[in-house]
């Protein structure tokens, strides 16, 4: 008879269970992906992998080496289905947050300077902070921060890793600015972006043409005061 009162007393003394927290964290990656015109990241898994070519081959459904407007729309529909986790035909603000923080965190303007969760701020000894070298390092850090925030006319967000100067490709498809992106809006954005890429107005895109465009954009980033050193096609080689 004494067992039941003892169990009740222990239960009353035990701390109440704490609800698990769900902090927002950034999925960090040490190298930059290729960001497709509709915002999908393609990450390299080898030092010679061409991530732009990976997207092109996926979008080129009939494998004829030419990307049509219809194929780009179909590829946009596929990516839309991945982002529309509620399957209600719209990318809502929560799903957009998931895209920006988990699917393609690199598009955030300050993603390059953001420390991984739990990593302490870097510290330096007095000797390291002394002298002209330390002042130049601090100046360079400020320039990098300014560039990551889009100052000095630098490319921002996804524009640093893609083919178009569109910082946020998914949110940029919100034509009526109601904070929701419908499938029709995504389709129309795909058509408009195909036309931006099709500078020759031939109604088709080739991989060689897009590779040349990417080289032009990368040349632009090299001319900036502080460029994102993660920008590159393949995994960094190990020393």
User: What six digits make up the tokens of 157?
Assistant: 């967000």
Report yes or no on 197 lying in a domain: yes
> Which residues, in sequence order, are bridge partners of residue 34?
42
According to the model, what pLDDT value does residue 132 have?
A: 59
Q: What is the pLDDT of residue 105?
A: 86
pLDDT at 79: 97
Q: In this structure, are residues 217 and 139 in contact, taking their beta carbons and an 8 Å threshold? A: no
How high is the pLDDT of residue 156? 79
- Residue 172 domain flag: yes
Answer yes or no: are the C-beta atoms of 33 and 43 closer than 8 Å.
yes
Does residue 132 lie in a domain region?
A: no
Residue 176 located in a structural domain: yes
What is the predicted pLDDT for the residue at 136? Answer: 63
| Domain-located, residue 157 | yes
Domain of residue 222, residue span: 50-110+139-239
Report the pLDDT value the prediction gives residue 118, as an integer from 0 to 100.
45
Neighbour count for residue 25 (Cβ, 10 Å): 12
Q: Buried b vs exposed e over 158-196: b needs ≥16 C-beta within 10 Å?
A: bbbbbbbebbbbbbbbbeeeeebbbbebbbebbeebbee
| Residue 202 lies inside a defined structural domain of this protein | yes
Q: How far is Cα 10 from Cα 12, in angstroms, rounded to an integer?
A: 5
104: number of Cβ within 10 Å: 24
What's the pLDDT tens digit per position in 99-110? 998 899 888 754
Rg (alpha carbons) of the chain, rounded to whole number: 23
From the list 36, 27, 25, 10, the residue with the least C-alpha distance to 158 is 36
For the chain, the domain total comes to 1
pLDDT tens for each residue of 162-194: 999 899 999 999 999 999 999 999 999 999 999
Do the domain assignments include residue 6? no
Task: Report which secondary-structure segment, H or E, holds 235.
Answer: none
pLDDT at 135: 61
Mean pLDDT by 10 residues, the chain (239 residues): 46 40 43 89 82 94 95 97 96 95 79 45 50 59 48 69 92 94 97 95 94 81 50 41
Q: What is the pLDDT, as a whole number, of residue 139?
A: 59
Instruction: Judge whether 31 lies within some domain.
Output: no
Identify the pLDDT of residue 157. 84
Query: What are 1's two structure tokens?
Result: 């008879």
CB 188 within 8 A of CB 78: no
Token pair 């269970």 is found at 17
């Amino acid at each position: 008879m004494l067992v039941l009162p003892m169990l009740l007393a222990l239960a009353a003394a035990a701390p109440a269970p704490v609800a698990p927290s769900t902090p927002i964290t950034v999925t960090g990656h040490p190298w930059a992906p290729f960001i497709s015109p509709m915002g999908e990241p393609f990450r390299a898994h080898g030092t010679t992998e061409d991530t732009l070519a990976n997207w092109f081959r996926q979008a080129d459904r009939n494998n004829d080496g030419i990307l049509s407007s219809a194929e780009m729309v179909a590829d946009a529909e596929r990516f839309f289905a991945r982002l529309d986790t509620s399957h209600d035909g719209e990318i809502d603000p929560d799903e957009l947050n998931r895209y920006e923080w988990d699917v393609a965190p690199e598009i955030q303007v300050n993603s390059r300077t953001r420390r991984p969760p739990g990593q302490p701020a870097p510290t330096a000894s007095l000797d390291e902070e002394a002298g002209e070298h330390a002042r130049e390092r601090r100046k360079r850090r400020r320039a990098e921060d300014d560039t990551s925030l889009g100052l000095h006319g630098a490319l921002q967000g996804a524009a640093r890793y893609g083919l178009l100067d569109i910082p946020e490709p998914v949110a940029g498809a919100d034509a009526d600015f109601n904070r929701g992106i419908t499938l029709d809006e995504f389709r129309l954005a795909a058509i408009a972006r195909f036309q931006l890429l099709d500078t020759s107005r031939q109604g088709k895109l080739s991989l060689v043409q897009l590779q040349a465009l990417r080289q032009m954009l990368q040349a632009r980033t090299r001319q900036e005061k502080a460029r994102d050193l993660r920008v590159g096609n393949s995994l960094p080689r190990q020393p």
